[in-house]
Amino acid sequence: MAESEEIVVRCRCGQRLFDFDPMTKGIITTKCPRCKAVMAVSIMNRKIKCTEQIAAHAG
Residues of this chain that bind Zn ion (CB under 5 A): 11, 13, 15, 32, 34-35, 37
Give the nearer residue to Zn ion in terms of CB position, either 32 or 43: 32
- Residue 17 CB, shortest distance to Zn ion, in Å, is 8
Residue 13 C-beta: closest distance to Zn ion, Å: 3
Q: Do residues 28 and 38 touch, judged by C-beta distance below 8 A?
A: no
Q: Please tell me the distance from the alpha carbon of residue 29 to that of residue 37, in angstroms, as a whole number.
A: 11
Cβ-based neighbours of 30, under 8 Å, separated by 6 or more: 17, 18, 38, 39, 41
Please say which residue, 25 or 29, places its beta carbon nearer to Zn ion. 29
